[in-house]
């Protein structure tokens, strides 16, 4: 099944977006060979990566179009997280979702309940990213319920031990949030290391002590 199949949608344009983001995510180390998933909303349908697709090598068969509200045969092929994506689309005005497994973000999610950036870019774009947890971390109803709740308020949320889910009006927007968050978590890691080595980590932002209230 190809992107846009049965929707009259722009197959090649959607596929090209998926390819660009998928390849970048892999090259940045934000997903392993077969990890992560992407989707965009097409009215009452969604285009989502195929279960087990290699994001760095997406072909037309790797993007599946299925219903937003209802299943059809294509759900056989869709990402394990399809019901999570559907729940988020139903609960928000998101037009695109990116889910990845970036290591610094995942590591940070193991030690905190929210990620508060110390770098400038992360501060501007994120302020604060909630970390949520579920017993069944992949594609479960519990994850769907958590994310549809938290993504109403925040554009990116991290599922502990699993990775971020980001929403946007465009796929590129959601991808940017995942990318910035990973950079933020790398910087947090480095800052922690410097602090542990006895260096003073200095504050340069007015009001940053309130970012936890964002």
Partner 1 sequence: MTVEGVTVTVHPAGGLWGSEVPAALAALRERHPGCEAAVIGPAGERLVPFASVVNNRGRSLGRGGLGAVMGSKRLKAVVVLPDGPRRPPVADPERLDFVVYEATKLLKANPVTSTALPEFGTAVLVNVLNQAGALPTRNHRETQFEGAARISGEALKRGYVSRRAACRGCPIGCARRTRAGDESGEGPEYETVWAFGAECGVDDLEAILHANYACNRAGLDTITMGVTIACAMELAGEGLLPGGPRFGDAAAVVALTRATAAGEGLGELLQEGSARLAARLGRPELSMSVKGLELPAYDPRGMKAQGLGYATSNRGGCHLRANMVGPEILGIPKMVDRFATLGKAGLLINLQDLNAVLDSLSVCKFTAFAMKEDYFARLLGAVWGEPVEPQELLLSGERIWNLERLFNLTAGFRRGDDTLPPRLLREPPPSGPSAGQTVDLDPMLDEYYVSRGWDAGGRPTPGKLARLGLAGLPAGHPALAAALGGEAAPAAGNGVAKGGAR
Q: Is 41 in the site for partner 1 (CB under 8 A)?
A: yes
The enclosing H or E element of 40 equals strand 37-42
d(CA 121, CA 164) in angstroms, rounded, equals 17
Distances (CA, A) of 140 to 78, 114, 117, 204: 14, 22, 29, 41
Q: Which stretch binds partner 1 (CB under 8 A): 35-43, 106-114, 133-141, 190-198?
A: 35-43
Q: Is 214 in the site for partner 1 (CB under 8 A)?
A: yes
Please count the other Cβ atoms lying within 10 Å of the Cβ belonging to residue 200: 7
Q: Is 170 in the site for partner 1 (CB under 8 A)?
A: yes
d(CA 122, CA 135) in angstroms, rounded, equals 29
Pick from 24, 142, 173, 192: which binds partner 1 (CB under 8 A)?
Answer: 173
Q: Is 206 in the site for partner 1 (CB under 8 A)?
A: yes
Q: Is 93 in the site for partner 1 (CB under 8 A)?
A: yes
Report CA Rg, the chain. Answer: 17
Cβ-based nearer residue to partner 1, 42 or 131: 42
| Residue ranges binding partner 1 (CB under 8 A) | 8-10, 13-14, 41-44, 89-93, 95, 124, 127, 148, 152-155, 168-170, 172-173, 176, 206-207, 210, 213-214
């Amino acid at each position: 099944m190809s992107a846009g199949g049965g929707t009259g949608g722009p197959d090649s344009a959607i596929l090209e977006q998926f390819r660009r983001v998928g390849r970048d995510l892999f090259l940045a180390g934000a997903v392993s060979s077969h990890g992560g998933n992407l989707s965009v909303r097409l009215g009452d349908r969604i285009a989502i990566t195929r279960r087990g697709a290699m994001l760095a090598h997406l072909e037309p068969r790797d993007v599946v179009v299925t219903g937003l509200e209802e299943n059809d045969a294509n759900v056989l092929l869709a990402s394990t997280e399809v019901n999570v994506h559907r729940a988020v689309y139903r609960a928000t005005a998101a037009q695109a979702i990116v889910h990845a497994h970036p290591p610094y973000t995942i590591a940070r999610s193991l030690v905190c309940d929210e990620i508060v950036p110390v770098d400038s870019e992360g501060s501007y774009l994120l302020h604060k990213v909630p970390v949520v947890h579920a017993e069944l971390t992949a594609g479960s109803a519990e994850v769907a319920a958590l994310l549809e709740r938290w993504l109403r308020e925040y554009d990116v949320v991290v599922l502990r031990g699993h990775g971020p889910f980001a929403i946007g009006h465009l796929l590129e927007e959601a991808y940017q949030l995942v990318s910035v968050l990973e950079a933020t978590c790398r910087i947090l890691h480095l800052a922690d290391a410097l602090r542990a080595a006895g260096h003073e980590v200095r504050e340069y932002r007015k009001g940053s002590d309130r970012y936890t209230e964002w």
